[in-house]
Every structure is written in structure tokens, then in C-alpha cells.
């Protein structure tokens, strides 16, 4: 039997159904950005690495306002969200040489939202050749880089925004 070693997944497995409240609000309210994987704080939104990514450098742009409704945000907040998404893609393309992105919102449980009460914009970098048989045959995704390494690599560029 082949084994895929991914010890950071244990944190996720142990936390399922134990986490109370909104993890985005909690991360934004705390001051330890490194622990919370926050790369940038804007006026209305922040950029945070997804702790359980679909791909390396999968991040999210989320408003400080706890809301599920995009239209309840001010136009300034929506504008900043898209501006930060664009800057994020620019940084990832420059530093990590991504070939493309999957981006967007999952609005509501039926749309695949894991967190339905706090809107967030996903940015998932893609590289030519980043797909293989593991997700199809083994229902396993292999992330090529540890999340702390990705954070350390991206942080200097985000601090210049």
C-alpha cells in the first residue's frame, strides 16, 4: 500500500464540528497574523491563506464585516475586495509562476460554501500539469508545498500593497 504523508491534515480532521463561531472573524480579530495566515489587512477586507487548500497558495479575500450577502457590503468594500483579488493574482503569478486561476464565491450551502455566513472570494492558483490521477482514483489532493513556506514566500510582497 502506498502512503501519502500529509500530517497537517490531522489538525483539520480533529477540528471538524468542534469549531465555534466564524473562523474568518476570529482570525481578523486576533493580532497574530502569522498564526492566522493573514497576508494583508486592507481598510475593509483582508487576504488570508486557506488553511485547507485545494492547491498551494489558495487564498481568500474576506471583508471584516460578517455577512453572507455581497450586496450588503459597501461599494468601497466590494471594490477593495476585487482590487485585493487582482493584486493577489499578480503576486502569485510573479512569485510562484502560476499559469492560471480558479476564482470566485461559493454563495450558500448548495453552491459548495463551507462557511455560509461570511462571504469570501477564493483565489486558487493553477499550474500546467498540476492535475494527476490522485484526485480521480484515490480521492486525494497532493499539495506541493507546506502552507507555512507559502506564507513566508508571499508575505514580503503582500506587505508592499
**Domain topology for 22-158:** HIT family, subunit A (3.30.428)
**99 or 106, which is more confident:** 99
Q: Look at residue 127 and tell me whether its pLDDT is greater than 50.
A: yes
Cα distances from 51 to residues 78, 125, 151, in angstroms, run 23, 15, 11
**125 or 129, which is more confident:** 125
Task: Give the bridge partners for 59, in sequence order.
Answer: 49, 123
What does the angle CA 83 – CA 109 – CA 77 come to, to the nearest 5 degrees?
20
Separation between Cα atoms, residue 57 and residue 67, nearest integer Å? 25
How confident is the model over 52-98, as pLDDT tens digits?
888 899 999 999 999 999 999 999 999 999 999 999 999 999 999 99
**17 or 152, which is more confident:** 152
> Distance between terminal CA atoms of the chain?
47
Residue numbers annotated as active site: 120
Separation between Cα atoms, residue 115 and residue 19, nearest integer Å? 12
Q: What is the pLDDT of residue 139?
A: 64
Amino acid at each position: 500500500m502506498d502512503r501519502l504523508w500529509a500530517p497537517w491534515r490531522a489538525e483539520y480532521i480533529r477540528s471538524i464540528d468542534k469549531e465555534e463561531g466564524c473562523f474568518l472573524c476570529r482570525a481578523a480579530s486576533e493580532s497574530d497574523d502569522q498564526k492566522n495566515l493573514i497576508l494583508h489587512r486592507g481598510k475593509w477586507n483582508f487576504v488570508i491563506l486557506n488553511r485547507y487548500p485545494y492547491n498551494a497558495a489558495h487564498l481568500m479575500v474576506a471583508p471584516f464585516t460578517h455577512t453572507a450577502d455581497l450586496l450588503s457590503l459597501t461599494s468601497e468594500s466590494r471594490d477593495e475586495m476585487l482590487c485585493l483579488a487582482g493584486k493577489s493574482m499578480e503576486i502569485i503569478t510573479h512569485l510562484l509562476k502560476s499559469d492560471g486561476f480558479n476564482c470566485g464565491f461559493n454563495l450558500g450551502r448548495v453552491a459548495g460554501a463551507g462557511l455560509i455566513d461570511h462571504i469570501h472570494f477564493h483565489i486558487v492558483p493553477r499550474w500546467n500539469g498540476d492535475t494527476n490521477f490522485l484526485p480521480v482514483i484515490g480521492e486525494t489532493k497532493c499539495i506541493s508545498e507546506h502552507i507555512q513556506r507559502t506564507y513566508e514566500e508571499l508575505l514580503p510582497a503582500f506587505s508592499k500593497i
